[in-house]
Amino acid sequence: MTDYMPVGAGEGEYLSDTSHNKIKAALASLRGTVATKQQGLGAHVDEAIGCVQSELDLVLSEHAGMADDLLRAYEQLGIVFEVTSRLSSADDPEDVVRLFVESLSITYQDMELFSAESADNDALVWAPRLPEGAAHYAAIVHACVESRRAVVEKFETPTFGIAEIMAAPVFAGDEFVCAIVFANSGKARRFDASDMSLIDALVSVCGDLLRNYQLAASLRAFSMDTVKALVSAVDQKDQYTSGHSNRVGRYAKLLAAEIGMTGHRLQMLEWAALLHDVGKIGIRDDVLKKPGKLTDEEFEHIKEHPVRSYDVVKEIPQMSEALGGVRHHHEKYNGKGYPDGLAGEDIPLDARIILVADVFDALTTTRSYRKSFSFDKALAIIAEEAGTVGDPKLVPIFERVIRREVAARRIQISPWTGPNGSSPGDCEEAGS
């Protein structure tokens, strides 16, 4: 741990200040002068000088201890700052652990550092490699996990060049994540109580951060499940569209990931795809479930649903980035869609992605007004309409990814023949 030492502040400089040396020299000179010129007073003055000398040594010694403590605290503060700064850039729990181990490795570069995770069979999985004398290391890992704090083991005779080992456990709540193990040769320094306190504080910060990720993930999953239940309820207004929104969410996410969308951006796209038809809750059942051709008035009514969906979603501030995908999922690439008649790349990317996914699901499922198309026929229709309905850049990518997922059996397209095996009429319009 050689970082964080103030420049020019080695131990020697704290112990022997120039002014103290001058005082010592002056006392020695005084003693010599008295001894030669004031023979009668010599013993008394000599005693007085001795007292001053002792006091001075005591003060110097106390100052030296304070300086060492101050230096150590300063160094530890630097370590805490360095490690926590690095952790703040983590994207996910795996990243937290990786950055934590990495930052400790940099900070404690005069030692060997290992991390140990528990495998399913309770064996320890070591990184970056299995330490020599792994049994010693395993024992100290188990001890630190048991006590939930840093533990140090010192060897009377260095083993494999190691004089002492310190291990500290990272817990996310009650869940053991990993142990951080420091192997110290003892050549540069030895562990003391302050090392244990520091590493206990650091693993605690790391564990709290991991726990926050777990809670956030749990909250996200809960929100997603709630929304899926909500859209499922909306889909069931019409038996023919049961499961539509969840499937569109899945297809849209696949396409978006294929073009490189990740993280929060991908999450917003998924929300938009799940909620794109939520406004159908305000569409009259007799229009939504009508088996035959819609009148102009009925079609105008059903065309209200993207804006109705938009009005629902805009009430949720956290979903503001999903609004474009929701509102514009029926905009055609040629500008003849609705509600705003946007064309080409003026249509938000999320909406163009959702449209392709939406049309594909509509074509591969039976609707009240027509039977489902086969998988290949549906893809052929989407390809024919590329540039008119769908984005011509996205359509071939969608075909590639959906064929790949079906071939790998990660997605199953099984056309549903409608409630009670009904046989609806011809196709009116793809998408929903």
SS3 content of the chain, % helix, strand, coil (to 5): 60, 10, 30
Amino acid, single-letter form, for residue 381: I
In this structure, what is the dihedral angle of CA atoms 419, 425, 426, 429, given to the nearest 10 degrees?
Answer: -60
Stretch that binds Fe ion, among 81-89, 140-148, 247-255, 277-285 (CB under 5 A): 277-285
Q: Which is nearer to Fe ion, 145 or 234 (CB)?
A: 234
| Binding flags for Fe ion, 301-320, as an x/- string (CB under 5 A) | --------------------
Q: How far apart are CA 77 and CA 57, in angstroms?
A: 30
Contact in structure between 177 and 97 (CB atoms under 8 Å): yes
| Binding flags for Fe ion, 141-160, as an x/- string (CB under 5 A) | --------------------
**Smallest distance, Å, CB 277 to Fe ion?**
5
**Smallest distance, Å, CB 201 to Fe ion?**
53
Q: Which is nearer to Fe ion, 268 or 272 (CB)?
A: 272
Name 164's bridge partners. 154, 184
Residues whose CB falls within 8 Å of the CB of residue 272, separated by 6 or more in sequence, listed in order: 252, 313, 319, 322, 323, 324, 325, 326, 329, 350, 351, 354
**Smallest distance, Å, CB 234 to Fe ion?**
11
**Smallest distance, Å, CB 310 to Fe ion?**
11
Q: How far apart are CA 363 and CA 11, in angstroms?
A: 78
Stretch that binds Fe ion, among 95-103, 137-145, 215-223, 276-284 (CB under 5 A): 276-284
Which class for 63: exposed (0-12), middle (13-18), buried (19 or more C-beta within 10 A)?
Answer: middle
Q: Which is nearer to Fe ion, 210 or 283 (CB)?
A: 283
**Smallest distance, Å, CB 236 to Fe ion?**
16
Residues within window 18-37 making contact with Fe ion, judged by CB under 5 A: none
Q: Which is nearer to Fe ion, 179 or 357 (CB)?
A: 357
Amino acid, single-letter form, for residue 358: D
Q: Which is nearer to Fe ion, 183 or 231 (CB)?
A: 231
Q: Which is nearer to Fe ion, 164 or 277 (CB)?
A: 277
**Smallest distance, Å, CB 94 to Fe ion?**
37
| Binding flags for Fe ion, 234-273, as an x/- string (CB under 5 A) | ----------------------------------------
**Smallest distance, Å, CB 302 to Fe ion?**
9
Residues within window 393-432 making contact with Fe ion, judged by CB under 5 A: 432
Other C-beta atoms lying within 10 Å of the C-beta of residue 268: 21
Stretch that binds Fe ion, among 160-168, 236-244, 263-271, 275-283 (CB under 5 A): 275-283
**Smallest distance, Å, CB 238 to Fe ion?**
12
Tell which residue, 421, 330, 424, has the closest CA to residue 368: 424
**Smallest distance, Å, CB 330 to Fe ion?**
6
Q: Which is nearer to Fe ion, 277 or 385 (CB)?
A: 277
Q: Which is nearer to Fe ion, 116 or 274 (CB)?
A: 274
Strand ordering across the sheet containing 162-172: 124-127, 112-118, 175-184, 162-172, 151-159
Look at phi and psi of residue 8 and say left if phi exceeds 0, alpha if psi is from -120 to 50, else beta.
left
Q: Which is nearer to Fe ion, 195 or 277 (CB)?
A: 277
For residue 158, what are its two tokens?
């260095």
Q: How far apart are CA 188 and CA 184, in angstroms?
A: 9
Q: Which is nearer to Fe ion, 214 or 232 (CB)?
A: 232
Q: Is 277 a binder of Fe ion (CB under 5 A)? A: yes
**Smallest distance, Å, CB 269 to Fe ion?**
16
Residue tagged 């009148």 (tokens):
295
In this structure, what is the dihedral angle of CA atoms 36, 41, 47, 49, given to the nearest 10 degrees?
Answer: -60
Q: Is 350 a binder of Fe ion (CB under 5 A)? A: no
In this structure, what is the dihedral angle of CA atoms 340, 346, 352, 353, given to the nearest 10 degrees?
Answer: -140
Site residue total, Fe ion (CB under 5 A): 2
Residue 422 CA, chain-centre distance (Å), reads 48
**Smallest distance, Å, CB 244 to Fe ion?**
9
Q: Which is nearer to Fe ion, 71 or 307 (CB)?
A: 307
- Using CB under 5 A as the criterion, which residues of the chain lie in contact with Fe ion when the complex forms? 277, 432
